[in-house]
Structure 1
Amino acid sequence: MSAQSRFGTDVYAHRLHAAARAAADAGLAGLVITSGYDLRYLVGSQAQTFERLTALVLPADGTPTIVVPRMELASLKESAVPDLDVTVRDWVDGDDPYALVADALGGAPVSVAVTDAMPALHLLPLAGVLGATPVLATDVLRTLRMLKDPAEIDALRKAGAAIDRVHARVPDFLTPGRTEADVAADIAEAIVAEGHSEVAFIIVGSGPHGADPHHECSDRALQAGDIVVVDIGGPYEPGYNSDSTRTYSIGEPDPEVARRYAVLQRAQQAAVAAVRPGVTAEQVDAAARDVLAAEGLAEYFVHRTGHGIGLSVHEEPYIVAGNDLPLQEGMAFSVEPGVYFPGQWGARIEDIVIVTADGSESVNNQPHDLVVVPV
């Protein structure tokens, strides 16, 4: 891991303080965070937990401790841990790491919250040592993770610009006779070449495959007249993800395809325009859905309008019917309505937007039109 893989130490110091305060407000003695996105969020560590426990112990009041196998100490060197006020307690096979966790929390019994990524092989012995069943830390950390700080917003902007550059190259890859897998291989190379650290996902859905929202790629050969859905993304250091979808037509589209796509384009624009503080997540979803419903296309929109994004490609907030969460400045999520006609074709338009003080900012700025690739 390079220095680019984390933010400055002050960012993590602020997050630790905010998380401890949130734990105290929730009436908890603290948080126990094993490897995963929450650990990377709090201290910039990408350490892995296998059968040996690595865990950040964050008391509601007191100095944080990280419990780590001695053989894994090197994994902390490029995290923020060495520069933070965090005690490191290493252990070797034969020691009881769960007792170290309890000690760091002031002894048992104690009420704590744990990350939802904690494996059961650690959760169960930890509960036994603590003398109480932990609760999930999701409710404690969700607001912190949802409200992006300036460093995170800058990372999302860079990721968005990088994936825009990839989409600008996609028409060159869409040649009749090439397979979806051929195109995906070119896109994978471009994602890394344009600055991402790796590929998170690639969807190349041509013709009838475009009607499957989660199709990946296949050996189907592209044909003149195909509508092609390309949904791509990946992490951009320090680990913040891009996710953008554009739809392409190999040759001029059928007039009815063009008409329906124009409706989808209006739906996506309406949803983006609805984004501002105080509007609920479900109201943004409805803004897209209502445009499609007015044109008789609502039944072909078969998924939520969006999902939050950050260190994880999919995280809160979810832009979906039934979610009455009011949007706040700093939230970041996708706006991606789609229409899918089984056995025929599909289309989706997706941008990542960030809620601003009076509206939203899109980090994706490639044209939203149906992109016609000459044949």
Structure 2
Amino acid sequence: MSLPSCVILNYTPKQELFNRIHKFQKLLIKNCINGALIVQKADLFYFSGTCQNAHLFIPDEGEPLLMVKKSFERAQAESSINNIIPVQSLEEIPKNIFSQFKRLDKIGIEMDVLPANIYIKYKSAFQPSELVDVSMLIREIRSIKSTYELDKLKKAANLNFAMFSKVSSILKEGIREIDLAAQLEAVYRVGGHQGAIRMRAFNQEVYYGHILSGWNSAYPSFFGGPTGGTGVSPAYPQSAGFKTINKNEPIKVDYVGVCDGYMVDQARIFCIGNLPEKLIKAHEIAIKIKNHIIKETRPGMNGKDLYNMAYNIAVDSGNKDYFMGYTEDKINFIAHGIGVELDELPLITQSTDVTLKPGMVFAVEPSFIFPNEGAVGVEDTMVLTATGFEQITYFDDPITYS
């Protein structure tokens, strides 16, 4: 069955996929691993170009094998892998692999995301091969973006600009957070946003992002970022809720734009009326931190240096107690990697040694959060080039008043 002529899907180019596969194969050889089984959707898409129900086996040398349960027809259309075969059950996976690849002492799998019961089945099915973790090898490759990927990120940034440009025309006193969210998400969907935001971390999830106002932008949540919000119920306790938006309070729009699976993370502050001087000054400090990081960061630096730059500016401003949260809800990072997942590597923290490399993409998000008053700050997605940071997302940094 072919697609209607009016439907255009953007498939990952074959050369792009095989460049990624070859990089991964070099790491497999370096680590004495004979091949790797890719199952998780983000990794499967990254290496095969499809998210169908499938297993991808990448040997340390030679052509990979894509085994598809459903939909085989779509996988053939979406992936440029040469060797694609249909399967009906999990039991067929090891049989197909062992029949085509003979030297399999060690097989890599994604242990950071694979459910324990599936791992146990694989461990039994692939005997006598040893199963080893290749999660960090995969994430290491994905942390460096290609020209193709950067183009997707820039298109996602254009979608974000379109969304942020609509905020002021929709925003009015008395509107509920959830109503503002619905109208802005409609802008996203019309522009081609996929809706879902993929995250790798266990039990972390986000829907488009966060729209939070006043006290709700400082309300504690399980979410791993600096802000969370109440959400609409304890069943999904984050993001926009039924709170009405009032005058003279910060309104934080922290949303994730997506183009063909690639994400950018961006946040800006809006306000109806005016904000207290304390919040205005803190927002200016957040902008100062972002600009200082852009100015000073170079390849080869340790990621901890970025966090220390930011923290020292927060200390000098007198706002360290509210930097990236308050009391036990503080977080200890200033930036996170982003790509086909929201929480990619590297994570820039106060304690993690990370060597910064050209091609790494970060969401840099200096924020200040004041209990019962709200959050201020900015967030932008940036790529590290040979000479420093280049900002991908764009919109005016200062608070937008209406």
Which range is displaced more, 140-149 or 94-103?
94-103
Map of 2:109 onto structure 1: 114
Q: 2:194 aligns with which of 184, 193, 197?
A: 197
C-alpha distance 94-150 of structure 1, shift in aligned 2 (>3 A) = closer
Q: How does 1:1-375 map to 2 (within 5 A)?
A: 4-48=9-53, 54-69=54-69, 71-81=70-80, 84-85=81-82, 87-93=83-89, 96-106=92-102, 110-115=105-110, 116-128=112-124, 129-198=126-195, 200=197, 201-212=208-219, 213-215=227-229, 216-237=239-260, 239-301=261-323, 302-303=330-331, 304-373=333-402
Counterpart CA distance in 2 for 1:285 and 1:357 is 20
How far, CA to CA, are the matches of 1:258 and 1:296 in structure 2? 14
1:51 alignment partner in structure 2 = none
Distance in 1, matches of 2:369 and 2:130, equals 44
Give the conservation status (yes or no) of the 8 Å contact 2:338–2:363: yes
Give the counterpart letter for 1:177 in structure 2. G
CA distance in 2, matches of 1:276, 1:184: 37
In 2, Cα distance between the equivalents of 1:104 and 1:121? Answer: 26
TM-score by length of 1: 0.91
Paired AA for residue 88 in structure 2? V
Shift of 1:10: 1.0
Taking the aligned partners of 1:6 and 1:310, their CA distance within structure 2 comes to: 16
Structure 1: gaps spanning 5 or more residues: 49-53
CA shift at 1:163, angstroms?
A: 0.4
Give, as a single letter, the amino acid of the residue that structure 2 aligns with 1:149.
S
1-structure distance, mates of 2:90, 2:152: 42
Change (3 A) 1:246 1:94: closer
CA positional deviation for 1:47: 1.2
Give the TM-score normalised by structure 2: 0.85
Alpha-carbon shift at residue 287 of structure 1 (Å): 1.5
Q: Go from structure 1 to structure 2 and tell me whether the alpha carbon gap of 1:282 and 1:127 turns closer, same or farther (over 3 Å shift).
A: same
How far the C-alpha of 1:372 sits from its partner, in A, is 1.2
Displacement of 1:136 after TM fit? 1.8
**Which amino acid is the alignment partner of residue 136 of structure 2?**
D
Separation of aligned partners in 2, 1:309 and 1:218 = 26
Alpha-carbon contact 1:199-1:233 (below 8 Å) kept: no
Q: CA deviation at 1:60?
A: 0.6
CA displacement at 1:199 relative to structure 2: 5.5
**Residues 92 and 218 of structure 1: CA distance in aligned 2, closer, same or farther (over 3 Å):** closer
What one-letter code is carried by the residue in structure 1 that aligns with 2:274? E
Question: Given residue 214 of structure 2, which amino acid in structure 1 is its aligned partner?
Answer: G
For residues 313 and 57 of structure 2, the distance between their equivalents in structure 1, rounded to whole angstroms, comes to 48
1: CA distance, partners of 2:169 / 2:159:
17
Distance 1:284 1:104, change over 3 A: farther
**1:256 aligned counterpart, secondary structure:** helix
Following superposition, the deviation at residue 45 of structure 1 comes to 1.0
Q: Could you tell me how far 1:93 is from its partner in structure 2?
A: 4.6
List, as ranges, runs of 4+ consecutive aligned residues in structure 1 with deviation greater than 4 Å.
none
The answer on whether the counterparts of 1:166 and 1:194 sit within 8 Å (CA) in structure 2 is no
Which whole-Å deviations, capped at 9, do the CAs of 1:291-331 have from their partners, x for residues lacking one? 11111212212321111111111110111112221111100
CA pair 231-218 structure 1, distance change in 2 beyond 3 A: same
- On the 8 A contact 1:179/1:221 being kept in 2, the answer is yes
Q: Secondary structure at the match of 2:67?
A: strand
Residue 242 of structure 1 aligns to a residue whose secondary structure is strand
Structure 1 position 123, deviation (Å): 2.1
Query: In structure 2, how many angstroms separate the alpha carbons of the residues matched to 1:30 and 1:68?
Result: 18
1:267 Cα offset (Å): 1.6
Tell me, in whole angstroms, the C-alpha distance in 1 between the residues paired with 2:59 and 2:196: 36
How many Å separate the matches in 1 of 2:63 and 2:298?
A: 38
SS of alignment partner, residue 233 of structure 1: strand
After superposition, the Cα gap between the structure-2 partners of 1:226 and 1:297, relative to the gap in structure 1 and judged at 3 Å, is same
- For residues 44-92 of structure 1, give each alpha carbon's deviation from its aligned partner in whole angstroms, at most 9, with x where no partner exists: 01113xxxxx3111111232112223x53123123223xx33x234333
| Aligned match of 2:235 | none
Contact 1:22 1:141 (8 Å CA) reproduced: no
CA shift, 1:120, in A, is 3.3
Cα distance, 1:3 vs structure 2 = 5.6
Q: Aligned equivalents of 2:100 and 2:371: distance in 1?
A: 56
Instruction: State the percentage of identical aligned residues.
Output: 21
| 1:95 CA drift (Å) | 5.2
Cα deviation, 1:126-183, whole Å, max 9, x if unaligned, reads 2122324422212222231011010001111111121022111111222111100011
AA paired with 1:10? Q
Is there any run of 5+ residues in structure 2 with no aligned partner, and where?
Answer: 198-207, 220-226, 230-238, 324-329
Measure, in 2, the Cα distance between the counterparts of 1:6 and 1:321. Answer: 39
